[in-house]
Amino acid sequence: MTRVVLGSASSGRLRVLRNAGIDPLVVVSGVDEDAIVEHLGTEAEPGDVVTALAKAKARAVHQVLDGGVTSDCVVIGCDSMLYVDGRLSGKPETPEQAALQWDSMAGHDGLLYTGHCVIRVLHGGAVHTATAAEVTRVRFASPGPTDLAAYLATGEPLQVAGAFTLDGLGGWFVDGIDGDPSNVVGLGLSVTHRLFKDVGLAIGDLWAANPVS
């Protein structure tokens, strides 16, 4: 029975998996994301950046799992960033940064990149690793000053890549998307399904082994 391990503290990613019939074990990676981004350099492609981060997270989580889990499990690592006007952005660190982020994307389109890494683990060892980046175009509305101030005051923009959500309070300020909505939340079901198949796993078996109570 293959245990699914989600290497992320994101409530959105957890919700995506649970809504899709899988209740994972959650283990946060603790990876230094800034160091990885700095090492890759400013010329790195957005898809390569988020994939490298996702792979680092999945590998870090694999290393801290106990033997009872690593006897038969699959680890999922993900990372999301928003690309607007030639700039790649993760989570803003302050409300001021979140406000500047919204100044740059309000009324415009952005590309939400999510890197995915799936590591198949058997008897403690990583036997298969598969990675992919998925991109979804997001069409942003132009919230007025009052609405934007109220949104920033909720604190939600500081918790998510690009300072917005599709499935939360930020959804009021998204005019539409082109692509997989679950990818915008942070874990694309379509691409994760493909990666599961690449490492020899079937969704039906994972449902049975990780039921949502």
| Tens digits of residue pLDDT in 55-71 | 999 999 999 999 999 99
Q: Residue 41: which pLDDT band, with cuts at 50, 70 and 90?
A: confident
For 25, the enclosing helix (H) or strand (E) is strand 25-26
Can you list the domains of the chain with their CATH numbers?
A: 3-209 (3.90.950.10)
How confident is the model at residue 25, as a pLDDT? 98
82-124 pLDDT, tens digit each: 999 889 999 999 999 999 999 999 999 999 999 999 999 999 9
Q: Percentage of the chain surpassing pLDDT 70?
A: 100
Q: What is the mean pLDDT of the chain?
A: 96
Query: Residue 42: pLDDT above 90?
Result: no
Average pLDDT over residues 49-53: 96
Catalytic residue among 66, 72, 79, 167: 79
Q: What amino acid is encoded at 134 in this protein?
A: E
Give mean pLDDT, residues 139-167.
97
Instruction: Output the six-digit token pair for 141.
Output: 């509305």
Q: Is 109 a catalytic residue?
A: no
Contacts of 12 (CB under 8 A, 6+ apart): 160, 165, 167, 168, 185, 186, 187
The answer, yes or no, to whether residue 48 has pLDDT greater than 90, is yes
pLDDT at residue 81, as a whole number:
96
